[in-house]
Copies of this chain bind each other. A is one copy, B any other.
Amino acid sequence: MASGREHREGEDYGDAATMGALRRLQAGYAWADVASLEPGAAAARVRVRGAAQAVRAVGRRVAFLVLRQGAATVQCVVAGGDGGGMARFAAGLSRESVVDVAGVVSLPREPVRGATQQVEIQVEKLHCVSRAVPNLPIGVDDAARSEEDVGRAKAAGEQLVHVGQDKRLDYRVIDLRTAANQAIFRVQCQVENIFRQVLLSEGFVGIHTPKLIGGSSEGGAAVFKLDYNGQPACLAQSPQLHKQMAVCGGFGRVFEVGPVFRAEDSNTHRHLCEFVGLDVEMALKDDYSEVCDVVDRLFVAMFDHLNQNCAKELEAIQRQYPFKPLKYTATTLRLDYDQGIRMLQEAGVHVEPMGDLNTEAEKKLGELVRDKYGTEFYMLCRYPSAVRPFYTMPCSEDPRYSCSFDVFVRGEEIISGAQRVHVPELLEAQAAARGIDVGTIASYIDAFRYGAPPHGGFGVGLERVIMLFCGLGNIRKTSLFPRDPKRLAP
């Protein structure tokens, strides 16, 4: 310490009883964010609260403490005082404990390694606000390690801890502190922002539809059922009917961001039992290509924004989970389903021209499209009617095909959209043709009897957007607290 004054336990350092006490003990220092501590702040007297990411004692009188706030870290130097009480106190802090540091910003002689900020804090006061248990179930640095690093170390005969996906999720409150996770969920927030901004600028109205639905949902199978004051109810598998009703109710163009529930027993890398749906529904003028136009503008704007404004976050994700930037074009490629089928057939893949594509065929088509058109983001339009829901509008010139589309990112389906049938008689006929008891969906059909504009829309899962944009390979990595057939906690 510059003054050489001895640090007093309880006054200059120690565990803090209350925030009021802290305010008194650390008076005279200005609150600062770690991310704002740049060389220009040298000599400033600052107070910082952060997590003790790393603690290292050097002898009995000096300790180095790396403090983390969000994704930013700064090195703090605890020294001075003949007794070295404060340095020993620092050295005894358990990792991840939350501490308040007050001191002077200084420029280190050598570049700091192991911290994002290129300044240090010469600590004058140090108080622990919240003690972490000494033996954390997972370490933040272990959780932040890439598989490559673990592999490289192993090859060199060294053993590095690798935290498995399930253990990460069990201790999500720690796992979320890694730089990659801090970035993933900040990027996710940006994706939602751009979704909203683009749609609001095009006259869409944001709505909220109910998640509690009477009966057993819109003819769906895998719904979560519950008792609603004595009435049978279930959780909405999609806001389909209600967003259509909002359009028919005069709102013209609507969107919703909200949870979607699927009780499917799908233990895959891309399914969740609860996810965040980004849904759009709009009145159409001439045809469903207007929906495709919205998808095009929306997602190109989103991808552009992420690349231009989230470089730091994308880098952080890449350090732990390496991926190649998504290839996309300024105007999104649209292929007809028939064209896609032909490309697959020409490549020797066996596919039924009027059947659905399985995941493998979709993946293969993604490769063919990337190689031929240079994009990993494209739309496949005009699906066979037989593979789409009964409420999909058939093409008027050939009803074997429908006014529908899917959108793919890196060979995986991410968006499904279509024009809907707004004609009650046609809805009834199409439902009946699929063996659906029309009586069970009478209220759905009735909604179109009071004057209904032609309309269409699409839905996309927020978690899938980030998973596929960043090539993360597991949707559990892009859900804050994922819910899959086995996981209901934390």
Asked whether, in the complex, the Cβ of A261 is within 8 Å of the Cβ of B489, the reply is no
Asked whether, in the complex, the Cβ of B20 is within 8 Å of the Cβ of A251, the reply is no
Stretch of A156-164, A171-179, A321-329, A408-416 on the interface side: A171-179
A273 contacts B by Cβ under 8 Å? yes
Asked whether, in the complex, the Cβ of A257 is within 8 Å of the Cβ of B259, the reply is no
Asked whether, in the complex, the Cβ of A205 is within 8 Å of the Cβ of B177, the reply is no
Asked whether, in the complex, the Cβ of B224 is within 8 Å of the Cβ of A224, the reply is no
Stretch of A55-63, A240-248, A293-301 on the interface side: A240-248
A485 contacts B by Cβ under 8 Å? yes
Docked CA distance A364–B273 (Å): 46
A347 contacts B by Cβ under 8 Å? no
Kindly supply a per-residue 1/0 record for chain A positions 16-59, scoring 1 wherever the CB is within 8 Å of any chain B CB and 0 otherwise. Answer: 01111111000000010000000000000000010110000000
Docked CA distance A261–B258 (Å): 14
Copies in the complex: 2
Name the CB-closest residue of B to A256: B480
Q: Which of B98, B173, B273, B447 contacts A490 (CB under 8 A)?
A: B447
Stretch of A114-122, A284-292, A337-345 on the interface side: A284-292
Asked whether, in the complex, the Cβ of B130 is within 8 Å of the Cβ of A228, the reply is no
Q: Which of B228, B273, B490 contacts A212 (CB under 8 A)?
A: B273
Docked CA distance A68–B283 (Å): 14
Q: Which of B52, B286, B452, B453 contacts A451 (CB under 8 A)?
A: B52
Residues of B within 8 A of A18 (CB): 396
A48 → B minimal CB distance (Å): 10
Asked whether, in the complex, the Cβ of B265 is within 8 Å of the Cβ of A31, the reply is no
A443 contacts B by Cβ under 8 Å? yes
Docked CA distance A422–B97 (Å): 12
Q: Which of B21, B189, B212, B235 contacts A205 (CB under 8 A)?
A: B189
Docked CA distance A241–B393 (Å): 44
Asked whether, in the complex, the Cβ of A70 is within 8 Å of the Cβ of B453, the reply is no
Supply 18 further A-B pairs (C-beta < 8 A) apart from A98-B451, A177-B249, A181-B250. A20-B396, A52-B451, A133-B450, A172-B245, A177-B250, A189-B205, A189-B207, A193-B200, A207-B480, A210-B483, A211-B274, A212-B273, A224-B228, A225-B226, A225-B227, A226-B235, A229-B485, A235-B235
Closest A-B pairs by Cβ, 7 of them: A176-B249, A96-B451, A132-B451, A226-B226, A18-B396, A214-B488, A177-B250
| A interface, CB within 8 angstroms of B | 17-23, 31, 49, 51-52, 68-71, 94, 96-98, 129-133, 136-137, 171-177, 181-182, 185-186, 189, 192-193, 196, 200, 205-214, 224-229, 231, 233, 235, 241-242, 245-246, 248-252, 257-259, 261, 263, 265, 273-274, 276, 283-287, 396-397, 422-423, 443, 447-454, 462, 480-483, 485-486, 488-490
